[in-house]
Amino acid sequence: MATIITDLRDTFRRGSIYIQLIYINVAVFVAITLAGVMLQLFNAETAGGLFLWLELPASPARFLMQPWSLLTYMFMHGGLLHILFNMLWLYWFGALFLNVFSAKHLRGLYILGGICGGILYMAAYNVFPYFRPYIDNSFMVGASASVLAIVAAAAYREPNYPIRLFLLGTLRLKYLALIVIGMDLLFITSDNAGGHIAHLGGALAGLFFAAQLGKGRDLTAWINRALDGMTALAHRKPRKPKMKVRYGTGGTRQQDYDYNARKKAQSDEIDRILDKLRKTGYEGLSDEEKKSLFDASKR
């Protein structure tokens, strides 16, 4: 078991950004699912209500009580097929996205697309009378808006990129994006109305991001700065306390003075002996002077 965890951790660290996002989504899904199973086994009545605090509500009043849900909802999914299709799209188009954009762009656009999709979802449910009866009981989860932002941005930059589809043959990326966006428009009043609206918000965010980046403006810069700041804060090592050196009023300074004085006296003595050596030769030195000269030669 420990080996499996180590392998997963190493794969996550070495993987591309879209692989890391897939790992995060799957980990959240597994954790939420297991927590729900455990709560149900103990007949916990708060099981459903607990997870509602991580889902994005359509009600503005409820959203003010859980503003973090604008970020958490894009990492949650309603079932196995829901997360399977979202992660497959993220895997396919994440790799394509990195051919024309950077890893930081993908990371930032994932968040930006999810935010824009969530905002459009809440706005539509509160603006159009058709959705008003459902506001209080409507919540949304899923990475669809984030993934559609990545798809739309890639389609904007590489519109003629060939995509091979099962049974349908090869289709250019721009047409695939148009089909997906068109279906979201057609089914905007279906049972999954919130999801289709969020898709449109994510796609618009991706198109606008790609268009502005071509003009030299990166709409994901503020998101990446925030994420980099949080990462740096999490990995910051505590500073070691600096060693404090205290000097006494007399003891240490007096010792330094005595040491320097002794060194100077020894140097002066050696200079005197060397001067005598030049005048009288080695035989003219006393035994004490010879010893002093010998000791100095070994220092």
- pLDDT band per the 50, 70, 90 thresholds, residue 246: low
Give kind and range of the element (H or E) at residue 62.
helix 60-65
pLDDT at residue 140, rounded to an integer = 95
pLDDT in tens, 146-202: 999 999 999 999 999 998 887 778 889 999 999 999 999 999 988 889 999 999 999
CB atoms within 10 A of CB 14: 9
Cα–Cα distance measured from residue 148 to residue 162, given in angstroms and rounded to the nearest whole number: 18
Positions of E strands within the chain: 56-57, 139-140, 162-165, 169-172
pLDDT in tens, 99-144: 999 999 999 999 999 999 999 999 999 999 999 999 999 999 999 9
Of residues 250 and 160, the one with the higher pLDDT is: 160
Instruction: For residue 10, give both structure tokens.
Output: 């190493």
Per-domain boundaries in the chain: 2-235, 251-297
Four-way CATH pick for 2-235: 3.40.50.1820, 1.20.1540.10, 3.40.50.300, 2.60.120.560 = 1.20.1540.10
